[in-house]
Amino acid sequence: MTEKRKPKTNLLVLGLTVFGCLLMLVFGLRVMRALDKFDGVPQPPPFAAADEIETDVETIEDWMTVPFISHTYGVPPEVLMKALMIPVKGNHKKSLKELNEEYYPRSDGYVIDTVKATILAYRSSPAPDVPAPPQP
Amino acid sequence: MSDFLLTQVINYGAPLLGIVVFIGGLGVPLPCTVLVIAAGAFARQGILPWHTTALISIISVIVGDSISYSFGYYASERVIERFGGSPRWLEAEKAFQKWGPLSIFFSRFLVTAIALPVNLISGTTRFPFRKFILFDALGEVVWIFGYGGLGYLFGSQWEVVSEFLSNFGGLVLGIILFVIGIKQARNWQIKKHQLLH
């Protein structure tokens, strides 16, 4: 039995191969770039207590909400809302980006910068209402 | 889209993630892998309960996959009417019976871009549903626990893992297409050579 291929089939296979090459090139480069970032993260962070607190404020992003940041960074939500001069009620499910667009539309990035600064300030100054540790 | 969904996952938790992966299982292109890795990190932070989240996600995505299988299954009559019985159709059907389990398994987590076509082809070629569910469930368990587990392991650094895995899937898809193309061209060359001699 002789099989005659249609030019369409030839084109399809050629297209598939070229598309495969393109995908390999694009995603290969992106994988390499992601691997470069991995160099800075050689191993997963060690496990601390179940309620471990994040310390690097640079990991804060504008999709995060105030309660989420509050939980992750161990800073009360009232402290963050007070610094932002935003009412707590009705805003706890909004992302930092949404808060920025709603309350500070003219100052791009104001909310995320304020949140970062507030967390750093909260960390550096001991909270006045924290009870002293009990004496042994 | 990812940012909006990430905000909603931290607001509404496992049920929202379940809805998203269900819709993803139906074939709507959503950043499900990113969300699964992030959910692992959120579980580590105590934002989501890992067991409930994993269970809801696995069940939801399997239901979504089964529905997209049924789309292919119920559309198969028309497809068979048009192509059924032709040598190429029979060849394709035979190939899917052979490679189907592997395609179903790996398209759940490694080459997610072809998950929908694989579900539809499974249904159209009347690949046994029980076998489909078995390999689908195995693949989805690897996806949820493997990728979610990496998110859990890397915690706040989950985005680095997500970037790597999302692009790695694209790279694997490129390699598969390239290999298929080269193999097909080689087969043609061999046939041509045989005809000449």
Percent of chain B scoring above 70 in pLDDT: 98
As a whole number of angstroms, the distance between CA B80 and CA B60 comes to 30
Q: Name the interface residues of A facing B (CB cutoff 8 Å).
A: 2-3, 5, 13-14, 16-17, 19-28, 30-31, 34-35, 37-38, 41, 44-45, 50-52, 54, 56, 59, 61-65, 68, 71-72, 93, 95, 97-98
Residues A16-37 have pLDDT tens digits of 889 999 999 999 998 888 888 7
Nearest-Cα residue of chain A relative to residue B10: A68
Tell me which residue of B104, B5, B4, B16 sits closest to B60, measured CA to CA. Answer: B16
pLDDT at position B70 = 93
A46's CB contacts (< 8 A; 6+ apart) are: none
Domain edges within chain A:
9-43, 57-124
Positions in chain B whose pLDDT score sits under 50: none
Q: Is residue A7 helix, strand or coil?
A: helix
B171–A13 C-beta distance less than 8 A: no
**B191 near A27, Cβ under 8 Å?**
no
As a whole number of angstroms, the distance between CA B26 and CA B71 comes to 9
Residue A23 parent element (H or E): helix A7-39
Beta bridge partners of A95: A65
Tell me which residue of B140, B119, B105 sits closest to B66, measured CA to CA. Answer: B119
Location of structure tokens 């080459």: B111
pTM assigned to the model: 0.80
Sign of the Cα torsion A48, A52, A58, A61 reads: positive
Q: Give the pair of three-digit tokens for residue B73.
A: 């299954």
Residues A78-126 have pLDDT tens digits of 889 988 888 888 888 999 999 999 888 888 889 999 999 999 888 887 5
CA distances to B66, B74, B80, B94 from B69, rounded to whole Å, are 5, 9, 16, 18
Nearest-Cα residue of chain B relative to residue A57: B156
Of B160, B167, B177, nearest to A16 by CB-CB distance is B177
A24–B46 C-beta distance less than 8 A: no
In the structure, what pLDDT confidence band is assigned to residue A48 with cuts at 50, 70 and 90? Answer: low
pLDDT at position A131 = 40
**B27 near B68, Cβ under 8 Å?**
yes
Beta bridge partners of A65: A95
As a whole number of angstroms, the distance between CA A67 and CA A115 comes to 12
Q: Which phi and psi (to 5°) does residue A95 adopt?
A: -75, 165
Tell me which residue of B130, B144, B127 sits closest to B25, measured CA to CA. Answer: B144
Q: Is residue B119 helix, strand or coil?
A: helix
A21–B171 C-beta distance less than 8 A: no
A64–B10 C-beta distance less than 8 A: yes
As a whole number of angstroms, the distance between CA B147 and CA B168 comes to 13
**Is pLDDT above 50 for A130?**
no
- Within a 10 A sphere around the Cβ of A130, how many other Cβ atoms? 7
Of A16, A19, A34, nearest to B163 by CB-CB distance is A34
As a whole number of angstroms, the distance between CA B70 and CA B118 comes to 12
pLDDT at position B194 = 80
Domain edges within chain B:
2-196
Runs of H (alpha helix) within B84-128 = 87-107, 115-124
